[in-house]
Structure 1
Amino acid sequence: MNEKKKTFSVRFWMRRTRTQGNVSPLFCRVTICGQRYEINANFCAPLKGWDAKAQRFTGRSAEEKNANRVMNDMRIKIEDTLNKLRKKEAEINLKNFRLAFEDGKNDYSTVSALFEYHRIIDGKNLEPSTNLLYDVTERLLLRFVKTRYRLSDYMVDAIDKAFVMEFYAFLQGFRREGKGRVCTVNGAMKHMQRLKRVMNLALQNDWIASNPVCTLHVKRNKVERGYLEQEEVEKIRKAVLPPSHAVLRDMFLFAVYTGISYVDMVNMTPENITIGIDRTRWIHFNRQKTGLRVSLPLLPPAEEILDGFECYRPEGEENRKIFPMLTNQATNRYLKDIARVAGVKKNITFHVARHYELSLSLKLNSLQRFVS
C-alpha cells in the first residue's frame, strides 16, 4: 500500500485559467512514477464550493452534487483501469495506463493523432511545402511536451491557455534544451497559426469545448523587406560566375524583371507565353498563392533571358518547364554566393527579386507598348 502511494496518485482540481463567470472546468491528474496524465472531466462547477484539501465540493447545489458524482465515477474508472492492467500482468506505467483508460475514445484525442487527422482531411488541399511546415510544428510541439511534461504525447482536451503560452515561449527559447533554431516572434506566430488551425478541427468535431490558441494575442514585429537597387542588379548581371551559378543568376534576373514568385517560376511552361495585341510576348498565369490571374508584358531584358533557356525545353516533352529551377533552399544558398562574387552586401534571397524598382528606361519601354 505504501509502495502504491509512492508511485501512483490521483488528484482533482479546478482549472482557474478557464474560468467563465463563476464556474471552472474540473480536471483530474493521475501521477505514475512522477509522470503526469491530465484528464478533462468535461464538467464545470462553481469555484465557491470547491474544497481542494478534501478533493470534493462541500455545497448542496445540484451542480456540486453532480460534480462529486463525476469525480466518484472517474475514480471508479481509474481503479477499473488499474485492475485491467493487473489482470493482464502489464507494467503499471503512464503509457499503459493511458492506453487502457482511453480505450473507446476517439482516435484523434492526442496531439500526434490530431496532426495525422489534419494530414488526412486538409493535407491534400495544401502544397507539399506547406505540409512540411505542419510537420515541423508537430515536431516542435511534441518536443515541448516531452521537455515540459516528460510525455511522448499529450491529450488535446488538456491543452489550455497556460499550455499555449508556454509553448509560444518555448518556441522562442524558454526552457528549451539541446540544439535547435530559436524562433523569432514572427516565426513563432507562424507555428501558433498552424496549431490554431489543427485545433479548430478538434473544435469542429466537438472533441474540445473551445480552442485555447484563440486566447493568444501577440502582435507581429514589422519587418523591413529587403530590396534591390538598379546598381546592385547590374553588379549581379555583370558578375563572372561558373556555368551553374550563371544559369541560376539568369533565372533570378528574370524574376527581377517580371516580379514572378519562386513557385510560379517553377510552374512556368511555354503555354504561359503568348503574343499580345501589341504583337509582343506576354506571360499569362494563375498565381499559385492566391489563384489570381496575372498578365505581364515581357520587357527586353526578360525576353533576352527567356530566349537563352530554349535549350532547356526539348520538343515533345510533356509538362516541360521553361526554367530548370532548383529547390528554394538550394536557390537561396547559391544566391548568397552570387551576391558575394558580385560585391552586393545585402542578404539576397529569391523573394527579394519581387522588391526591385525598375529603371525609368524600362518603364518607358513598357509604356510605349501600350500607346504604340
Structure 2
Amino acid sequence: MVTKKNLSILVWLCRNKKSKRTGLVPIYLRITINSESDELSSGRKTLESIWDKERKKVVGDGPQINEVNDRISQIQADLKRHFIVLDAMYTFVTPQMLKNVYHGLPAMTEKELKGKNKELTLMEAADRHIAFVEEMVERNKLAVGTLKTFKTTRIKLREYLKYEFSKEDIKIVKLNVGFAYSFYEYLTLRDPARIEANSAYKYLSKTKQFIAEAKKRGLIDAHPLQDFQCKYIPSERRYLEMEELLRMYNKPLINRLAEIRDVYIFCCFTGYGYIDVEALTKENIYNGLDGNKWVSKARGKTNERESVPLLPIADEIIKKYHDHPYCVVKSRLLPVNSNQKYNSYLKEIADICNIGINLTTHTARHTFATTVTLENDVPLETVSKMLGHKSIKTTQIYAKITQRKVSNNMEMLKNRLFDVDGSIRHL
C-alpha cells in the first residue's frame, strides 16, 4: 500500500552562520519527511539572547520581534499547506519537492518526473487511489461500497497478472490497449467465477480510473488504456407490480420473515436502499412544510440527501416497530438484519408469496420509482429528487415506461376522443 508520509518542521538557529559584527543568527527550518531532511532559510535573524529554545520563537515586544515570529509561523503554515497538496498528487514527497513548491517552482523537473513516470506500477497507482478513496470514506464523502469495488478490482488485477504474466505487478508504461482486452477475456472466460460482461467492464472501468487518476496527478505522462471502451449491456430493471406488492404486504408470515418483509415494503414506499434504511433513526423523521411527516437522509452511496414524504404504509411500519427491542437498543427506526440474512430471507418470502423476481434492495428502489410513483403520474423530476439522484439521467434508467402506464394513458385518450359506443366525439 502507499507509504504514509509524515512531515515534521523544526525551527532552529544556524549558529555557524552567526554574524561576528552584529551577533545576529539566521533562523532556519528543518523539513523532515519520513527519514529524509532538508533545510530552508526563513530570511530572518535574531540574537541568541532573546531566542526561546522551547517555544522556538523570539521573546520580547515590539513590531520587529512580532514580524519575525509572524514570518516563521507563516512559513510553517505555507509548508504544511503545500505538503497536503503534494501528498494528494504524488505517491512520494521529498523535502526538496516541498521547497521547490514553496519557492513557486514545479515540484519536480521534467527530467525527474519522466524518470519517476517510468517507475510507477499498476499496483502502486491502484494503492494510491484506494488510499484516497479510504480517506474520502472516512470523511463520509464516498460510500463504503465504492471502496469495496476498487479493492475488489485490485484483487482481480493481481489474479490476472499472476495468470497471464506470472507476476503480481507491472509498470504502467508497459501497458497498452491489448492489456485491457486480455483482462476482459480473463474475467469473462478464465476467472473461476465466470464474471458477467457488465461486471467485467466495471472492473475495467475502475482499472482505467486508477491510471487516469495517476495521470491527473502528474505521475505518468500518458494513459495507455484510454482508448478501451467499456460497452455496458443495458440490463432489465425488475420491479414488483402493485398486486405483488400488496400480496406480500398482506401475507401472514412468521416473525423473522415478517420483519424482513416490512423493511422491504418500507423501501418500496420510500425508495431507500438497505444501507440507508439500516441507519435510520428518529432524527431522520421531521414535519415538512406541508405539515406531514417526512424522512430525510444523505444516501450512503452518493451523499446526496434523499427526502421523501412518509406514505401511510411506511408510517404504519415505523409505528409497528416503535418498541421493538432491536430498535430500542440500537436507536433505530426498523429492525434491519445483516445484509446476508436480509437477502436470504427475501428469497424465502418471494417463494412463499409466489413472486418470480429476485427481491433485492435494487428491486425495491425500482418498484418505488416505477410502480409506486411514475405509474401514478409523479413527475420524473420529483422522483429523481426523492431518490437522491445527482442527475435525472440516472432516474431515467429506473423509469421504465410500463405496459400499465401505456394502457392508462391510452384509456384516458380513448375516453377523451370517443363516446361509449366507439364513435368519435366532435371536439
Counterpart-to-counterpart distance in 2, 1:107 and 1:342: 60
Alignment correspondent of 2:350: 339
Q: Is the 8 A contact 1:255 1:354 kept in 2?
A: yes
Q: Is the 8 A contact 2:282 2:333 kept in 1?
A: yes
Q: Between 252-261 and 117-126, report the one with greater CA deviation.
A: 117-126
* SS of residue matched to 1:284: strand
Q: CA deviation at 1:130?
A: 1.9
Out of 186, 207, 210, the position equivalent to 1:195 is 207
Q: CA deviation at 1:352?
A: 0.8
Alignment correspondent of 2:333: 322
Counterpart-to-counterpart distance in 1, 2:209 and 2:285: 38
Alignment correspondent of 1:157: 173
Alignment correspondent of 1:353: 364
Q: Is the 8 A contact 1:107 1:113 kept in 2?
A: no
Residue ranges of structure 2 left out of the alignment (5+ in a row): 1-114, 137-141, 379-427
* SS of residue matched to 1:333: helix
Q: Which amino acid aligns with 1:302?
A: A
Counterpart-to-counterpart distance in 2, 1:124 and 1:211: 25
Distance 1:208 1:362, change over 3 A: closer
Identity over aligned pairs, percent:
29
Alignment correspondent of 1:146: 162
Q: CA deviation at 1:220?
A: 1.2
Distance 1:252 1:219, change over 3 A: same
Q: CA deviation at 1:360?
A: 11
* SS of residue matched to 2:226: helix
- The yes-or-no answer on 1:131 pairing with 2:142 is no
- The yes-or-no answer on 1:240 pairing with 2:252 is yes
Counterpart-to-counterpart distance in 2, 1:227 and 1:316: 32
Counterpart-to-counterpart distance in 1, 2:300 and 2:181: 33
Aligned pairs (5 A) from 1:38-187? 109-125=120-136, 126-173=142-189, 176=190, 180-187=192-199
Q: Is the 8 A contact 2:188 2:194 kept in 1?
A: yes
Alpha-carbon RMSD: 3.0
Counterpart-to-counterpart distance in 1, 2:117 and 2:226: 23
Q: Is the 8 A contact 2:326 2:335 kept in 1?
A: no
Q: What are the Cα deviations for residues 86-109 of structure 1, in whole angstroms up to 9, with x where unaligned?
A: xxxxxxxxxxxxxxxxxx968983
Larger Rg: 2
Counterpart-to-counterpart distance in 2, 1:352 and 1:113: 37
Alignment correspondent of 2:243: 231
* SS of residue matched to 1:209: coil
Aligned residues: 256
Residue ranges of structure 1 left out of the alignment (5+ in a row): 1-103, 365-372
Q: Which amino acid aligns with 1:165?
A: Y
Alignment correspondent of 1:299: 311
Q: CA deviation at 1:266?
A: 2.2
Q: Which amino acid aligns with 2:171?
A: M
Q: Is the 8 A contact 1:331 1:350 kept in 2?
A: no
TM-score, with structure 1 as normaliser: 0.62
Q: CA deviation at 1:359?
A: 8.8
* SS of residue matched to 2:253: coil
* SS of residue matched to 1:208: coil
Counterpart-to-counterpart distance in 2, 1:188 and 1:147: 16
Q: Between 351-360 and 125-134, report the one with greater CA deviation.
A: 351-360
Alignment correspondent of 2:265: 253
TM-score, with structure 2 as normaliser: 0.54
Distance 1:222 1:304, change over 3 A: same
Out of 289, 308, 316, the position equivalent to 2:320 is 308
Q: CA deviation at 1:270?
A: 0.7
Distance 1:263 1:316, change over 3 A: closer
Q: Is the 8 A contact 1:312 1:324 kept in 2?
A: yes
Q: Is the 8 A contact 2:145 2:301 kept in 1?
A: no
* SS of residue matched to 1:285: strand
Q: CA deviation at 1:249?
A: 0.7
Q: What are the Cα deviations for residues 274-299 of structure 1, in whole angstroms up to 9, with x where unaligned?
A: 12344332212233334433332211
Q: CA deviation at 1:237?
A: 1.6
Q: Is the 8 A contact 1:110 1:156 kept in 2?
A: yes
